[in-house]
Amino acid sequence: MTIPSKHVFPLPRIDPAYVSLLISGLTAGIALEKVGEIKKNETVLVTAAAGGTGQFAVQLAKLAGCHVIGTCSTDAKGEFLKSLGCDRPVNYKTENLDQVLKKEYPNGCDVVYESIGGEMFDTCVNRLATKGRLVTIGFITGYKSKLGFSPVKNATLIPKLLTRSASVRGFLLFHYMEEYKPTVDKLVNLYDSGKLKCSIDFGRNSSPGGFKGLDSVVDAVEYLHSGKSSGKVVVELPDDVKSRL
């Protein structure tokens, strides 16, 4: 493939972690800084915190001096979040997130990095702090539905935001292309210096030998939707794999 040089990012070496930095890392880095406007000592809630982009949102919020809450679906993922510096992992399968936030964070969350949608979105809106900002980067619970999305309670959304001077902000990575290079440079430097961790999931617990070759992309996507993955799901494209493409 030949592409314009302005679209090329120099990397120190070949490392699958950079695959994750270029999409998931960029999303977390730009969304939190430019849209979420996180500040030191704020409380930041990250949903799907053990996922491909959530892992970076947790770490970048911590590096910014914030207190970080992260949602996950298993105790093992909770331990993974602790290893990233997450202050309060919440396993929503065994704990009620709304009650945890209401009891432990009565003043609400200053910033929410949200990618689940549906009921999770509604809970996050309910627990926004005064002048809180919810940044929605996706709605994975609705990706398989017939409608393509899970509806939220729009009828009650406006008064909830109005009475707190809070806001819900959408983020799509491709609208911030001017931020790509400086953010990639920052992320690569953090990763290479050991200040930023990158967890890669090759699906070896789901498929013998992991996901290899373009033909396994479908299996990798299904694995992602299963909720069993941790970190960034990556499909290997080794030279010796024969693909129908």
Condensed to tens digits (0 to 9), the pLDDT of residues 15-36 reads: 888 888 989 999 999 999 999 9
8 A C-beta contact, residue 232 and residue 20: yes
**Within its chain, how far is the Cα of 95 from the centroid?**
20
Is the confidence at residue 238, as pLDDT, over 80?
A: no
Q: What is the mean pLDDT of residues 72-92?
A: 96
**Structure confidence at residue 241 (pLDDT):** 56
Which backbone phi and psi does 168 adopt, to 5 degrees? Answer: -115, 125
Task: Look at 149 and 61; give whichever has higher pLDDT.
Answer: 61
Beta strands in the chain (DSSP E): 43-46, 67-72, 88-91, 109-114, 128-136, 167-170, 200-201, 232-233
Is the confidence at residue 150, as pLDDT, over 80?
A: no
